[in-house]
Structure 1
Amino acid sequence: MQNRIAGKKIIITGASSGIGERIAWQIAENGGIPIMVARSINKLKNQQMQIKKVCQVDSYAYQADLLNQKELVNVINQIISDHTQIHGLINNAGAAVFDYVRNMLWSDVEQMFQLNVFALMQGTKCLLPHFMQHNEGHIINVASQAGKIATPKAAVYAATKHAVLGFTNSLRLETTEYNIRVTSVNLGPVNTNFFAGADPTGDYQKNIERYMLNPDKVAVKVVKALFTDKREINLPGWMELGSKLYHLFPRALERLLKKQFDKK
């Protein structure tokens, strides 16, 4: 894996915390060069110093609020201008608010779609000509098992991840002739600060704590897939099995798993 990643420059959005932070570290530990994008430049600068100290590799930090379309386009263009070649893009930034549709604030709906869907699509579109020019690239889109199995209080979040999966699968077909790989990452709950915004009460996290994925293990799987033909990363395995059964027997699974679905 190290030989495949060493020296490669890889953009990671949402890199200041959670899965994005762990992915950046995992890239650096394998000799790659993380290009980290997030709102908090102070966190990124600190991370940059720590990566240099521990891993003895360079990394780069760029500030951008991906809820702002202009900032997103500007930061991608700046990165392309600053670097001769970008080898990969990991669209990791995302957010959720768990609530019933009847109670959702429309501002939350718009923010989820902007961050989870539109920013992902726009950043990808900005980088595609660069990847095509070099006849090389890997785009990894962090989606969710929620894009395969919808549950109560996650209608909007699930809709955004359905969109990410549809976009990813179509993009893969469009880019094969340019040697651009495209991978989706479909995760169950991960033990990060994601739930601070998704479920401020903390009830959901308490209910599912024993099932939550370790972010370091997720990062290892994601980085291991870089510059391979891996189509999807699905974690945990039992949840992916459940999603396949759900597509075959939706009513039966909804009845059987009602208590699990209602844990939010």
Structure 2
Amino acid sequence: MWVAGVDGCRAGWIAAFMKVGDPASARIAVAPDLAAIVDTPERPAIVAVDIPIGLPEWTEGSGRIPEQLIRPLLGQRQSSVFAIPSRQAVYAADYGDACALALATSDPPRKVSRQGFGLFPKIREIDSLLQARPELADRIFEVHPELAFWALNGGQALEQPKKVKGASFEPGMRLRRGLLRQSGLLDEALIASPPPRGAAADDLLDALAGLTVALDLATGGGQSFPDPPGRDAHGLPVAIWTLGSPP
């Protein structure tokens, strides 16, 4: 059985593929769209992707339930968990329209951050893909890298960031690579490999974090926030997944 961990990157999406139980089989690829990853020759049975799945029609509080649940676990890293607004706002044509729609569909009224708005094209992509091909909802799981590292760190938040002012922060990157090594799930060559063209080092690191969750799910592990997952108005799952227990 093949699985994949996926993160967005400048060229589209970066994916780390691996056959369960065979670390040497792992490979890294960049694809222009998510459909190309799920339909790759490996046909990964589980795809753990760092992008929101399942959008609200109305937002209460600080985002979706999964976001509200995991923020307290992440300590200083909780700012990496963006509040995703309503589906109407996510599908808005420009930033001004997105803010207006978000204000009109949230309680308390909230605008959209510029950084969050930058994610909307990829959120729309996965939302459209899952609505067009609902059978993929059994294969694609939403993850968050910092929640994966929280689990790999024994349920403790990481104190060091992986980026500072938009640039990679090497102490934080080393800390996360060390947790991947300690997990014993991935080959050292994969962890130490440079990112492919079109992706940054932190994109690859996040894809590898997703891969650890995919491997755990493939072997009967995993935990979701919330448990059980919710459903949006289109029947798509609403949950962020991580490893069920330290490997």
TM-score by length of 2: 0.34
Structure number with higher helix proportion: 1
Q: Over alpha carbons, which structure has the higher Rg? A: 1
Using CA pairs under 8 Å that are at least 6 residues apart, name the structure with larger relative contact order, 1 or 2.
Answer: 2
> With structure 1 as the length reference, what TM-score do the two structures score?
0.33
